[in-house]
């Protein structure tokens, strides 16, 4: 079942929607194999003694417990989401009680992943996301191909940075146009020096940063 779209923010798109790796069921697998061997041995036991009847009931009880354990684990697996969007990283888990972690892309400082040799062979691992704020570091287990997830998160961060830079440039351009229009009093298109002067006034007033001033100034000079 995919991550519910009703939980997404406005203009938010999903890049990755993952369930935990199948190694999430590792304990069930490692205990199920010897249990299966025991079942085969009991079925091959031809004795009709009371001891075999007792062993049969013990094995049946173990099978029932194992199946219930597996079913509960599957329900938890099906209700665990690891989602990467163009705005944040989202983790949700739990059947009755729910637990969630959200890390906005702009707060992510570093992403690390860990894989043992066996985990590399099966494509599983852990992902550590270090972020600014009270949350600090978050660790996510049983992530599918954590190196690829790491790369995708960085791609989404770069895309968000480019989008924010484009929006900032548009905002600066609109502010310059307004400043020139207010100062010029005419309908003619402002010249490049006039736009640079307007930029300087916006910088001195604290409406734009020195970096934004220099970037826009260089762009205007290239047009001359």
pLDDT attached to residue 7: 84
pLDDT higher than 80, residue 142: yes
Whether 137 is covered by a domain: the verdict is: no
Range scoring the smallest mean pLDDT among 29-38, 46-55, 135-144: 46-55
When computed from its CA atoms, the radius of gyration of the chain, rounded to whole angstroms, is 30
Alpha-carbon distance values, 21 to 25, 74, 98, 125, 214 (Å): 8, 12, 20, 9, 48
pLDDT (tens digit, 9 = 90+) per residue, 165-218? 766 655 566 665 665 555 544 445 556 676 777 777 777 766 667 777 677 777
Residue among 86, 84, 92 at smallest CA distance from 145: 84
Whether 127 is covered by a domain: the verdict is: no
What is the helix, strand, coil percentage profile of the chain, to 5?
60, 20, 20
150 vs 196, higher pLDDT: 150
Rounded to whole angstroms, the maximal C-alpha distance in the chain is: 108
Q: How confident is the model at residue 10 (pLDDT cuts 50, 70, 90)?
A: confident
Tell how far CA 174 is from the center of its chain: 34
181 vs 47, higher pLDDT: 47
Among 43, 58, 79, give the residue marking a domain's end. 79
Domain range for 197 is: 153-222
Distance CA 127, CA 149 (A): 9
Distance CA 206, CA 57 (A): 80
Provide φ and ψ at 51, rounded to 5°: -60, -40
Q: How confident is the model at residue 135 (pLDDT cuts 50, 70, 90)?
A: low
Whether 39 is covered by a domain: the verdict is: yes
Whether 101 is covered by a domain: the verdict is: no
Whether 136 is covered by a domain: the verdict is: no
Per-residue pLDDT, averaged over 143-154, amounts to: 94
* Number of structural domains found in the chain: 2
Is residue 129 classed exposed, middle or buried when 0-12, 13-18 and 19+ CB atoms within 10 A define those classes? buried
Distance CA 124, CA 104 (A): 24
How many C-alpha atoms does 39 have within 13 Å on its Cβ side? 12
pLDDT attached to residue 125: 94
* Beta-carbon count within 10 A of 195 CB: 21
| pTM of the complete model beyond 0.85 | no
Per-residue pLDDT, averaged over 45-72, amounts to: 88
Q: Are strands 81-85 and 88-93 parallel, antiparallel or unpaired?
A: antiparallel
109 contacts 131 by C-beta, under 8 angstroms: yes
pLDDT (tens digit, 9 = 90+) per residue, 69-117? 999 999 999 999 999 999 999 999 988 888 888 999 988 999 999 999 9
Whether 57 is covered by a domain: the verdict is: yes
Per-residue pLDDT, averaged over 33-45, amounts to: 89
């Amino acid at each position: 079942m995919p991550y519910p779209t009703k939980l997404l923010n406005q203009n938010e798109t999903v890049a990755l929607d993952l369930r935990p790796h199948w190694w999430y069921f590792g304990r069930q697998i490692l205990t199920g194999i010897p249990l299966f061997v025991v079942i085969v041995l009991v079925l091959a036991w031809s004795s009709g003694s009371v001891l075999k009847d007792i062993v049969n009931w013990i094995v049946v009880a173990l099978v029932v417990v194992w199946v219930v354990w597996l079913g509960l684990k599957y329900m938890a697996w099906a209700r665990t989401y690891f989602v990467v969007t163009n705005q944040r990283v989202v983790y949700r888990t739990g059947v009755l009680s729910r637990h969630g972690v959200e890390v906005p892309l702009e707060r992510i400082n570093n992403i690390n992943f860990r894989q043992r040799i066996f985990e590399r062979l099966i494509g599983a691992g852990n992902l550590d996301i270090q972020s600014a704020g009270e949350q600090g570091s978050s660790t996510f287990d049983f992530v599918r191909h954590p190196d690829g997830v790491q790369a995708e998160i960085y791609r989404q961060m770069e895309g968000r940075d480019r989008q924010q830079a484009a929006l900032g440039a548009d905002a600066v351009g609109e502010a310059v146009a307004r400043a020139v229009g207010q100062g010029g009093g005419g309908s003619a298109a402002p010249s490049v020096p006039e736009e640079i002067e307007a930029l300087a006034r916006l910088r001195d007033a604290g409406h734009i940063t020195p970096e934004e001033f220099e970037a826009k100034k260089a762009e205007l000079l290239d047009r001359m």
